[in-house]
Amino acid sequence: MLEHGSDVFALMPVVRPTFIIQPATPVMALSTFLTELDSLSAEAAEAFASAADQSTLEAARVQFVGAKSGRLKAVQKGLGAVDKTDRPAAGKRFNEVKQSIEAAYQSAVERLTAVGRPTACRCADPTIPGACRRLGRLHPITQTIDELKEIMGRLGFTAVDGPEVEDEWHNFVALNIPADHPARNPLENFYVGDAAKPQAVENASQPRDPSPQPLLLLRSQTSTVQIRTMERMRPPVRIISCGRVYRPDTADATHFPMFHQMEGLLVDRGVTMADLKSTLRLFARSAFADDVHIRFRPSFFPFTEPSVEVDMSWADGWIEMGGAGMVDPNVLDAVGYDPEEYSGFAFGLGIERICARRHGIADIRELFKNDVRFLHQF
Ligand code: FA5
């Protein structure tokens, strides 16, 4: 037994250190290591993807990721031979390749397992959420038209339609627009056919165009429907007509070459301008809000006398919404109404401007881009 404090080393034999000369570890270039890794990765992916049955897959697994003699293991050992400074980069790439080889193996396992499953299980899985169908909706202009019809219906106006391809009689002549009026200029309209052809009828005092093929155009205003309605009805008349009209206008924030108008027409005994204004005021309050103001500005339309521009205003200024006036006696005459007995008012409002104002749309061109992200808001 040794005494506490005795010098234990004094009892041990002196061991002289032996120096064994080890062969130096060969240094592997990083590029060589990475090339080896890449080809291993490609070969393993190919082997797993092409394995047609479980036993081929198992053989590939042992070859590439086998714990003892798998090729991945062998490459991992080579990591130690990579120069110390390159080792972090080599290790990082090794881990990535290892994960991708394991993922390739896993997907091969799933593929071969699925092959063995009964077909019925593969096509009907009631736990998978259904495909969500996006619901469509009406275009904001169509929604606005529906609301305008509803409002005017409550004021006693019936909605009627008219054709978009019109003859000159309904678009101009019966509306008291003579042949030399600038509104009939071919450059101001979309004529269908030869607009240079001389017309049989130039104004309403002549008999109606007897030719079987009158000159046609895309209607430039819904006022055409005033004529078509009065031709087939006797007073009292109380209609609106909403639809497309076409003009070669340059598109900007408030104009488009195709747009929509709401035409209104009321013909009866004793109709006055006061009826026109109260009707438009009632309409505006229903379509917008109680704080809307209405202003009539003197204007000229060949088919109304007197004629006005209808402006509406909110806190931020006046906007022109349309034209209006008392139906011109010449127009009543052209459709066979007695102007001594009947009077009437008419108006035509721009539906894009109404829609834009209701929804705070700054530029009416947005309405026609057909961008569902925009349209879906309404
Ligand atoms: C007319 O079209 C007349 N037919 C209105 C009328 C009817 C007057 C009945 C008298 C009696 P005007 O060209 O001003 O009028 O057009 C009426 C409204 O249509 C304009 O105030 C505007 O709101 C709208 N509008 C006109 N051009 C365009 C366009 N290019 N794009 C969008 N809206 C337009």
Tens digits of per-residue pLDDT, 138-186?
999 999 999 999 999 999 999 999 999 999 999 999 999 999 999 999 9
- Report whether 241 contacts 263 (CB < 8 A): yes
Q: What total of structural domains would you count in the chain? A: 2
Alpha-carbon distances of 111 from 49, 115, 266, 294, 324, rounded to whole Å: 9, 6, 76, 73, 74
Q: Are 240 and 262 in contact (CB under 8 A)?
A: yes
**23 preceded by a cis bond (ω within 30 of 0):** no
Q: In this structure, are residues 138 and 78 in contact, taking their beta carbons and an 8 Å threshold?
A: no
CATH of the domain at 320: 3.30.930.10
Sheet containing 190-192, strands listed edge to edge, beginning at the edge strand earlier in sequence: 165-167, 216-218, 190-192
Confidence (pLDDT) at 195:
61
Residue 174 has a pLDDT of: 95
Q: Among 119, 148, 181, where does a domain finish?
A: 119
Q: Are residues 145 and 113 in the same domain?
A: no
Same domain, 67 and 155: no
Per-residue buried b or exposed e for 59-91, using 16+ beta carbons within 10 Å of the residue's own CB: ebbeebbeeeebbbeebeeeeeebeeebbeebe
Instruction: Please give the distance, rounded to the nearest whole angstrom, from the Cα atom of residue 351 to the centre of ligand 1.
Output: 9
Range of the domain at 65: 26-119
**Which tokens in the block code for residue 336?**
């066979």
Q: Whose CA is nearest to atom 16 of ligand 1?
A: 322
Residues 336 and 279 in one domain: yes
Best residue for ligand 1 mutational test, from 247, 280, 301, 367 (most atoms within 8 Å of Cβ): 301
Is residue 79 located within the same domain as residue 152?
A: no
Residue 21: the pLDDT is 47
Asked if 288 and 249 sit in the same domain, the reply is yes
CA distance 346 to 175: 12
Atom 25 in ligand 1: residue holding the nearest Cα: 350
The pLDDT value recorded for residue 119 is 58
Looking at the domain assignment, is residue 18 inside a domain? no
Burial class of residue 104, CB neighbours in 10 A (0-12, 13-18, 19+): buried
C-alpha of residue 301 to centroid of ligand 1, in Å: 11
User: Do residues 154 and 48 share a domain?
Assistant: no
Residue nearest to atom 17 of ligand 1 (CA): 322
pLDDT, mean over the chain: 88
- Ligand 1 and 353: CB distance under 6 A: yes
**Is ligand 1 within 6 A of the CB of residue 176?**
no
Nearest-angstrom CA–CA distance, 106 and 117: 17
- Shortest-distance atom of ligand 1 to CA 226: 9
Atom 10, ligand 1: residue with shortest CA distance:
324
Q: State percent of the chain over pLDDT 70.
A: 86
Test site for ligand 1: of 190, 221, 349, most ligand atoms within 8 A of the Cβ: 221
Which residues face 263 on adjacent strands?
A: 241, 348
Ligand 1 pocket residue status of 259, Cβ below 6 Å: yes
Question: What is the sign, positive or negative, of the torsion defined by CA atoms of 163, 167, 172, 176?
Answer: negative
Same domain, yes or no, for 232 and 307? yes
pLDDT top residue among 7 and 321: 321
247 and 144 in a common domain: yes
Examine residue 200 and state whether it is found in any structural domain, yes or no: no
What whole-number distance in Å separates Cα of residue 63 and Cα of residue 69? 7
CA distance 106 to 101: 9
For 221-280, the pLDDT digits (tens) are 999 999 999 999 999 999 999 999 999 999 999 999 999 999 999 999 999 999 999 999
| Residue 133 falls inside a structural domain | no
User: What is the SS3 assignment for 312?
Assistant: strand
Instruction: Note whether residue 173 is domain-resident.
Output: no
Nearest ligand 1 atom to alpha carbon 222: 4
Is the full-model pTM beyond 0.85? no
Closest CA relative to residue 324, chosen from 256, 264, 282, 284: 264
Share of the chain above pLDDT 90, in %: 75
Same domain flag for 256 and 352: yes
